[in-house]
Amino acid sequence: MRWLGFIAIILMPILCSAQSFQKQHWIQFTDKDNTPYELTQPLEFLSQRALDRRERQNIQLSENDLPVNPTYIQAVLNTGSEYLTHSKWFNSISVQVPDSATLVAIKNLPFVLNTEPVGKKEQNQQSHDKFEFVGAEKSVASNGFSENDYGIAFNQIDMLGGVSLHNLGFKGEGMLIAVLDAGFPSVDVFPAFDSLRNDGRILGGWDFVSRDGSIYGDNPHGMSVLSTMAANVPGEFIGTAPKASYLLIRTEEGATELPIELDYWIAGTEFADSAGADIINSSLGYTTFDNSQYDFSYSDMDGNTVRGSIGADVAASKGILVVNSAGNSGDNAWQYIGAPADGDSVLAIGAVTPNGYIANFSSIGPSSDGDIKPNVCAQGQAAAILGSGGTFGVGNGTSFAGPIMAGMLACLWQANLDSATNMDVFHAIEASAHKFKVPDHLYGYGIPNFAKANLILSGLSPTNLDRSELFQVYPNPFSDQIRGTFYASGRQDVVIRLVNSLGQEVRRIQQTAENFSGLNFEFSGLQGLTQGLYTLQIESDSGKFYQKMVKLRD
């Protein structure tokens, strides 16, 4: 694709760069004057899929879509600096400089606006991520298999009402999820990803740390994250978006915690945007660093201070649904969410236990400017994942709660792609959650229900979300058919009747609704009914519900 050609051109100079480890700096440019790229020729730097996503959501191109001027980048490299990454949204390049004289030379370039250090690589660094595998491999879910053979993944999907969407045929098909993480070893060989490979649904990726296309290596964390969405082994494990397509993007150096990784994260997010990703899942977060002089403070977690958080909001402004794990600091000195989870338009995901209680390690909110964080929660304690050995087990972390949620979001958006924007989906998920009316700093709005969110996106007003049962019927007035969806918070028998103005039953359906499901129903062949007023009645174990219906003249 043509936009990948631009990436290749910009990255070519690094092949000749020195490999010494020196001071790292972020260099911001004053303008994009004399750039060879134009907004009238967007296919030079954006894929058609990216343009289609913008058009669907009525998003216009802007100057920050234009690539960085290659002449400016080359001038910085000509000083003897080593290329690390660049950002069109921030009009910048990140480099390693050999000495202070070189930095002065960079600052004296007429098109350089600002510079700031982004850390120096040190030895004996430890991973920041609380990545923990617990339990047995290939274990069986305590509540047995579902009818769709979810295996050990059943609880984390059923908790979200996700089985309902899958049963409706929405499994992420046609949606593109970009996974930003620390590596994806063995995704190209593990049987759990067979269908992903065989269907050609890994659409590419890039390693922004090593600056090459070797995506099937490094830290296994990203592989386990991916498994919660994409693994598909009926009878053992089915992920939340088993039919979605994926971009695999490495932005994290797993053994270190460096500020430059936020610049890699921004570059990975821009890559995802250019490729046309619908959703970004990032199981990464930044608060403190190996060199404490770069540590953030809680006051920085306002969504508008840390560059990565600002970049995440820019991605959302391009029509991408950005999903980020809240963090695993709830039980240590830093309790709060990290960046970029604090972004105003970032859906930050906390972790709950298999029974729906907040996990003690899940980072808390709010953001320092008072926004509800985390936004919502999913299972992140004893979450079903694929381990580094290629067998199924369980692990702990908001790292897994995030992608479990992201996969279900792909299914929900697939069901409403032509009518819903990224932020429509964002707000419907919040409105569907169990603590929507009483959010707090632990759960945020709580555990969402995707069957309920689907009804909201279909046009149901969320004003009565405190009711346990909700339904929607259409069209009204009707002519030859009535269709509807009944949301059930628990397994129950449901009788649906269409009654005329004399109280006579003219149609009847009786079905069993499952937990947290959207039960779809249809009355057809109604063209022979007399014009006038009818009542649709729904009787369930927990109550009766009514909707007045008007029959039109045939």
- How far apart CA 490 and CA 203 sit, in angstroms, is 39
Whether 405 and 510 map to the same domain: the answer is no
Pairing of strands 543-551, 532-540: antiparallel
- How far apart CA 181 and CA 228 sit, in angstroms, is 14
106: left (phi over 0), alpha (psi -120 to 50) or beta: alpha
Last residue of a domain, one of 425, 460, 495: 460
Cβ proximity of 348 and 337 under 8 Å: yes
In a domain, 384, yes or no: yes
- How far apart CA 389 and CA 395 sit, in angstroms, is 14
Whether 434 and 480 map to the same domain: the answer is no
| 2-11 and 260-275 helices, crossing angle to 10° | 150
| 307-317 and 260-275 helices, crossing angle to 10° | 10
In a domain, 127, yes or no: no
Pair of tokens at residue 179 = 């996974």
Burial of 393 (0-12, 13-18, 19+ CB in 10 A): buried
- Any bridge partners for residue 472, and if so which? 485
Amino acid code (one letter) for 532: G
| 450-457 and 398-415 helices, crossing angle to 10° | 40
**Long-range contacts, 526-532 (Cβ 8 Å, 24+):** 526/478, 526/479, 526/480, 526/481, 526/482, 526/498, 526/551, 527/479, 527/480, 527/554, 528/554, 529/500, 530/500, 532/500, 532/501
Strands in 123-174 per DSSP E: 132-134
Whether 110 and 222 map to the same domain: the answer is no
**Long-range contacts, 525-530 (Cβ 8 Å, 24+):** 525/480, 525/481, 526/478, 526/479, 526/480, 526/481, 526/482, 526/498, 526/551, 527/479, 527/480, 527/554, 528/554, 529/500, 530/500
Whether 305 and 165 map to the same domain: the answer is yes
- How far apart CA 90 and CA 64 sit, in angstroms, is 7
Find tokens 């992140």 and name the residue: 380
**Residue 379: half-sphere exposure toward Cβ, Cα within 13 Å:** 27
Whether 274 and 415 map to the same domain: the answer is yes
Nearest to 403 by CA among 224, 154, 212: 224
Whether 336 and 231 map to the same domain: the answer is yes
Whether 286 and 137 map to the same domain: the answer is yes
Residue 498's domain comprises 470-551
Whether 370 and 512 map to the same domain: the answer is no
Buried b / exposed e over 486-502, threshold 16 CB at 10 Å, is: bbbbeebebebbbbbee
Find tokens 């490979």 and name the residue: 197
* Sign of the CA dihedral with 353 first, then 357, 359, and 365 last: positive
Q: Which residues does 278 contact at the CB level (< 8 Å), separation at least 6?
A: 53, 175, 176, 177, 320, 321, 410, 413, 422
Whether 177 and 309 map to the same domain: the answer is yes
* Per-residue model confidence (pLDDT) at position 123: 34
Whether 419 and 503 map to the same domain: the answer is no
In a domain, 465, yes or no: no
* Per-residue model confidence (pLDDT) at position 461: 61
Whether 275 and 176 map to the same domain: the answer is yes
In a domain, 122, yes or no: no
Query: From first to last of its 554 residues, what are the pLDDT tens digits of the chain?
Result: 323 333 333 343 333 333 433 589 999 999 999 899 999 999 999 999 999 999 999 999 999 999 999 999 999 999 999 999 999 999 999 999 999 999 999 999 999 999 999 864 333 333 334 344 433 333 333 333 344 589 999 999 999 989 888 988 999 999 999 999 999 999 999 999 999 999 999 999 999 999 999 999 999 999 999 999 999 999 999 999 999 999 999 999 878 888 999 999 999 999 999 999 999 999 999 999 988 889 999 999 999 999 999 999 999 999 999 999 999 999 999 999 999 999 999 999 999 999 999 999 999 999 999 999 999 999 999 999 999 999 999 999 999 999 999 999 999 999 999 999 999 999 999 999 999 989 999 999 999 999 889 888 877 665 555 454 577 788 999 999 999 888 776 778 899 999 999 889 999 999 888 766 678 899 999 999 999 999 999 988 767 888 899 999 87
* Per-residue model confidence (pLDDT) at position 328: 96
End-to-end CA distance of the chain: 53
In a domain, 166, yes or no: yes
Last residue of a domain, one of 65, 93, 117: 117
Last residue of a domain, one of 75, 92, 117: 117
Q: What's the CATH number where 494 sits?
A: 2.60.40.1930
In the chain, how many domains are there?
3
Burial of 181 (0-12, 13-18, 19+ CB in 10 A): buried
- Angle CA 249–251–257, to nearest 5: 155
Whether 16 and 38 map to the same domain: the answer is yes
161: left (phi over 0), alpha (psi -120 to 50) or beta: left
In a domain, 194, yes or no: yes
Cβ proximity of 486 and 471 under 8 Å: yes
Amino acid code (one letter) for 421: T
In a domain, 203, yes or no: yes
